[in-house]
Amino acid sequence: MEYPSKLIAQAVEEIAKLPGIGKKTALRLALHVLKQESDEVKNLSQSLVNLRENTQYCRHCHTIADADTCGICTSPKRDASVVCVVEDTRDVMAIENTGQYTGLYHVLGGVIMPIHGIGPGQLNIESLITRVNHAKPAIEEIILALPGTMEGDTTAFYITKKLEGLPLKVTSIARGVPVGSELEYTDEITLGRSIMNRQ
C-alpha cells in the first residue's frame, strides 16, 4: 500500500511489528494516534519506554515486579514449601486469579524451543535448581504448570530429570476435559488422557 506520508509509513511499520497486528490495523491505530491530544500520545509512548527500561524481575522467582523481590515471594501468608513452575508472568497472573494457590512461583521465561534457538541455558532452570538446593524452609513440592504442547512437555521432562534424586515431589497440573465442556468436542488426546488419569 502507498502511504500519503513517510511518518505514517514509519509508524505503520513499527506498529505492525507487534504480534497479531497487521498493516491494516496498524494504519487504523496510526490514524487514531493522529487524532489524539499530544499529551496522550506522549503518555502512551513514555509508558512503553518506561516498561522496557525500568521493569525489574524478582530475584527469587523471576516474575515481573516493581522491586528486586516480588510481593508473592515476600508475603508471609504464602506456603514457601511449594513452588509452581510456569512459562511466563501471564501464567502467574492466571493462577493468582483462580485464588486456589497459596505457594510460590518460578517463572522460566519461556519453554525449550530448539527451532527458535531457545535451549535450557536461556531459561531460568539453573536458578530453579539452585533455589531448590538452598531454600530455607526446604521446598517439598515442585508443581510443573507448563503449556500442554510438545515444547512444554519437553521442558517439563528436562526439569524432572534435573530434579531427580532430590528429596522433593515433582507433580504436574492435571490435564483433562475442561469444566463445562462437552465430551464430544474434546480432542481425543485430552479425552484419552483424562480417562487414563481418572480419579
Size of the residue set binding its own copies (CB under 8 A): 58
Q: Which residues are bridge partners to 142 per DSSP? A: 83, 170
The span of 1-9, 129-137, 146-154, 180-188 binding its own copies (CB under 8 A) equals 1-9
73-112 footprint of its own copies as x/- string (CB under 8 A): ---------------xxx-xx--xx---------------
Write down the residue that cell numbers 522433593 correspond to. Answer: 168
Kindly tell me the burial class for residue 54, based on how many C-beta atoms sit within 10 Å of its own C-beta (0-12, 13-18, 19 or more): exposed
Minimum CB distance to its own copies smaller for 13 or for 160: 13
Instruction: Please pick, from the candidates 6, 136, 161, 198, the single residue that binds its own copies as defined by CB under 8 A.
Output: 6
The span of 2-10, 125-133, 140-148, 170-178 binding its own copies (CB under 8 A) equals 2-10
CA 47, CA 40: separation in Å to the nearest integer?
11
* Strand, coil or helix: 185: helix
Pairing of strands 79-86, 56-57: unpaired
Tell me which residues in 132-171 interact with its own copies (CB under 8 A). none
Q: Are 161 and 107 in contact (CB under 8 A)?
A: no
Q: Is 53 near its own copies (CB under 8 A)?
A: yes
